[in-house]
């Protein structure tokens, strides 16, 4: 019966109970106690903020903070402050000067200590250096706080597994920042059937010192590992890889070939010492080819249909011609999906809020991120 109070911003519970039970004070008191117990449980689960003031129940917005104000932390701060579905609580950084710089830029609160952030937030974005992800996330999760953790989830697979257990124990949500899942190019394919048999990806970047704490595998290639694992519904049963360290002490360029139990293959190349940038993926499946440019973003699709078997409602952009495929000719069609105008980081932030408030499925789970990290570690061992 209490669900009606969750949809109201301000309700006098006693007035409501008087309408139901008249002057039966004993009954009213009994129901009121049950009511408070109900909401106390909901608060502990982190479903929403509630302020209890004698006779009134008032709904509050989710309070969100950012831990770590480097390049991505700054972007998260900017976008969280534009999000009207949350209350931005503030930022924390071990480098006080950097935190004050960001606070001045965006006119936001600075937490003096991590404990201040824990006490003030319902959820946080953790965009600190990867080596600190585990310890920081653990602090917040153990206090019942939800965590959006930038990728990679942790410095190693074992830490990721431990965070998953801590999250389950405390009833908290972890979402991981594999942002390419929210790329507009990928979003344009959401209603299409994709069953890859071969994937080729190139992720090339110029060298940027801010990411030298991890290898190119954990910095760049892990994006494509995550996308590939989300598309191919099968387990990896073989990995071949090679790479070299050129500027840093860890691999700066790498090529990996993943073979799956269902026979699918993914060939991934990542470099952070390239003259030109590239973020492209090509997906081949039976009678279709998808060319994805994450950077533009843009998608080209080529499909083959046996002559005369095209769907009646199929409206391709262009018919390119036909090829002799043996018994039947196949017509070649070219598609250009509409690319939605969205901000990928803003989209993943909103997905995180929805998972907490509305109990929607977490779009990139800790389990997803842990498996991508495990594969990245296996690749690293081969180099």
On the question of pLDDT at 7 being above 60, the answer is no
Domain total in the chain: 3
Domain endpoint, select from 22, 42, 58 = 58
Cα gap 134→149, rounded to integer Å: 9
On the question of pLDDT at 102 being above 60, the answer is yes
pLDDT tens per residue across span 342-356: 999 999 999 999 999
Q: Are residues 174 and 269 in the same domain?
A: no
Q: Are residues 100 and 242 in the same domain?
A: no
Cα gap 377→157, rounded to integer Å: 8
Report the CATH number at residue 331.
3.30.360.10
Q: Are residues 160 and 194 in the same domain?
A: no
Determine phi and psi for 308, rounding to 5 degrees. 90, 0
Domain assignment present for residue 354? The answer is no
Q: Are residues 17 and 124 in the same domain?
A: no
Domain assignment present for residue 351? The answer is no
Q: Are residues 331 and 238 in the same domain?
A: yes
| Residues 376 and 188 sit within 8 Å (Cβ to Cβ) | no
Domain assignment present for residue 16? The answer is yes
Domain assignment present for residue 353? The answer is no
The whole-number average pLDDT for the span 223-250 is: 96
Domain assignment present for residue 360? The answer is no
Q: Are residues 9 and 152 in the same domain?
A: no
On the question of pLDDT at 51 being above 50, the answer is no
Of 197, 193, 186, the C-alpha closest to 291 is 186
Report the CATH number at residue 101.
3.40.50.720
Domain endpoint, select from 124, 143, 178 = 178
Domain assignment present for residue 162? The answer is yes
Cα gap 142→118, rounded to integer Å: 10
Q: Is the dihedral of CA 372, 377, 380, 382 positive or negative?
A: negative
Q: Are residues 304 and 190 in the same domain?
A: yes
Q: Are residues 186 and 313 in the same domain?
A: yes
On the question of pLDDT at 38 being above 90, the answer is no
pLDDT value of residue 304: 87
Domain endpoint, select from 158, 178, 198 = 178
The whole-number average pLDDT for the span 248-269 is: 96
Cα gap 322→337, rounded to integer Å: 22
pLDDT tens per residue across span 306-329: 776 666 665 555 555 555 555 567
Q: Are residues 187 and 266 in the same domain?
A: yes
Q: Are residues 291 and 201 in the same domain?
A: yes
Place 53 in a pLDDT band, splitting at 50, 70 and 90: very low
Average pLDDT, the chain: 87
pLDDT value of residue 12: 57
Vertex 7, ends 5 and 13: CA angle to 5°?
20
Place 208 in a pLDDT band, splitting at 50, 70 and 90: confident
Place 246 in a pLDDT band, splitting at 50, 70 and 90: very high
Parent domain of 266? 181-342+367-381
If 0-12 CB within 10 Å is exposed, 13-18 middle and 19+ buried, where does residue 310 land?
middle
Q: Poorest-confidence range of 53-67, 117-131, 164-178?
A: 53-67
Q: How far, in whole angstroms, is CA 382 from its chain's centroid? A: 28
Q: Are residues 122 and 143 in the same domain?
A: yes
């Amino acid at each position: 019966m209490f669900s009606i109070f969750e949809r109201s911003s301000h309700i006098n519970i006693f007035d409501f109970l008087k309408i139901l039970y008249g002057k039966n004070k004993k009954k009213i008191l009994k129901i009121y106690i049950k009511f408070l117990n109900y909401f106390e449980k909901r608060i502990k689960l982190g479903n929403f903020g509630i302020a209890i003031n004698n006779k009134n129940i008032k709904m509050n917005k989710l309070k969100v903070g950012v831990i770590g104000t480097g390049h991505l932390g700054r972007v998260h701060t900017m976008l969280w402050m534009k999000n009207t579905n949350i209350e931005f609580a503030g930022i924390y950084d071990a480098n006080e000067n950097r935190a004050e710089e960001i606070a001045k830029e965006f006119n936001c609160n600075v937490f003096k200590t991590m404990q201040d952030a824990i006490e003030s937030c319902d959820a946080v974005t953790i965009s600190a250096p990867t080596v600190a992800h585990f310890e920081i996330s653990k602090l917040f999760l153990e206090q019942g706080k939800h965590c959006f953790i930038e990728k990679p989830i942790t410095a190693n697979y074992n830490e990721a597994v431990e965070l998953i257990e801590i999250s389950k124990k405390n009833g908290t949500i972890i979402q991981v920042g594999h942002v390419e899942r929210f790329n507009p190019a990928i979003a344009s394919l959401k209603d299409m059937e994709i069953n890859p048999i071969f994937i080729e990806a190139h992720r090339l970047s110029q060298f940027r010192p801010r990411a030298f704490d991890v290898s190119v595998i954990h910095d760049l290639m892990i994006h494509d590992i995550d996308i590939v694992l989300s598309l191919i519904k099968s387990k990896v049963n073989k990995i071949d890889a090679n790479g070299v360290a050129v500027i840093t002490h860890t691999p700066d360029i790498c090529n990996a070939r993943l073979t799956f139990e269902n026979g699918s293959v993914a060939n991934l190349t990542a470099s952070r010492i390239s003259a030109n940038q590239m973020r492209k993926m090509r997906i081949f499946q039976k009678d279709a080819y998808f060319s994805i440019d994450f950077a533009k973003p843009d998608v080209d699709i080529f499909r083959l249909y046996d002559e005369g078997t095209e769907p009646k409602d199929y409206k391709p952009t262009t018919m390119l011609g036909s090829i002799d495929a043996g018994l039947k000719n196949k017509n070649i069609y070219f598609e250009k999906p509409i690319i939605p105008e969205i901000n990928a980081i803003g989209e993943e932030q909103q997905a995180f809020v929805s998972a907490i408030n509305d109990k929607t499925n977490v779009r990139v789970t800790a389990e997803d991120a842990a498996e991508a990290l495990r594969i990245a570690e296996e690749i690293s061992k081969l180099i």
